Structure 1
């Protein structure tokens, strides 16, 4: 997880929070958080990186639509990140 960008980590959280999200759903959710338009040229290469790192699985919903799902490793990485963050947030 340490080698991911903040955008990639945010994508992991969104993927984990949605049921079988497709690219457009991810784009809409992340745009809502970032409060600006996220272009395909930013979204899909970052999703591909998460797939290559084994954190996300990419599957087909139909001929035109891919769906994304956290792998077991992706879920473990998010849980570890949450624990790491929590140790610093407890002091707030």
Structure 2
């Protein structure tokens, strides 16, 4: 089981032996899960869901992903949190057109989500299996 330090970040390729230690691991940028607000965590998840669905993750699409959970999402709240995630190196921002930006998860952003999945799965004694779509799963 993991040390009870939800601030750590193990990369998806971390070995089981290192997960059992009390060592606190962080992303290259130093951001940990606990450094983020709940809303910022949910924004990361929303972007990941859009990426998995092969949809463009621009502001309004992210907002639509969040509204079932939050109700109306204020424009200022969304974009200030997206900017914060960009500054932390968890999300990359690029221009789609003159008025629209696209947001994609960086390796650190993906790593933070993977780490959280692994910790929750461990807490529930669930095996996490990753697949490339070929039908052959690789255990994380």
Same fold (TM over 0.5): yes
Q: CA RMSD in A?
A: 1.3
Aligned twin of 1:26: 62
Which structure features the higher share of helix residues? 1
**How far is the alpha carbon of 1:28 from its aligned partner?**
1.0
Counterparts of 1:25 and 1:59, CA distance in 2? 15
Unaligned runs of 5+ in 2: 1-32, 127-140
Equivalent residue, structure 2, for 1:2: 34
Consecutive unaligned residues of structure 1, counting only runs of 5 or more, are: none
Rounded Cα–Cα distance in structure 1 between residues aligned with 2:117 and 2:34: 13
Count of aligned pairs: 90
SS of residue in 1 equivalent to 2:34: coil
Q: Larger RCO: Structure 1 or Structure 2 (Cα < 8 Å, ≥ 6 residues apart)?
A: 1
Paired residue for 1:11, among 38, 43, 55? 43
CA–CA distance in structure 1, aligned partners of residues 105 and 56 of structure 2: 9
Q: CA deviation at 1:51?
A: 0.3
Structure 1, residues 4-63: CA drift from partner, whole Å, max 9, x if none? 0111001001101113310001111100222x1010111011001100000000001000
Q: Counterpart in 1 of 2:83?
A: 48
The structure with more radius of gyration = 2
Length-normalised TM-score, structure 2: 0.61
Task: Show structure 1 runs of 4+ deviating over 4 A.
Answer: none
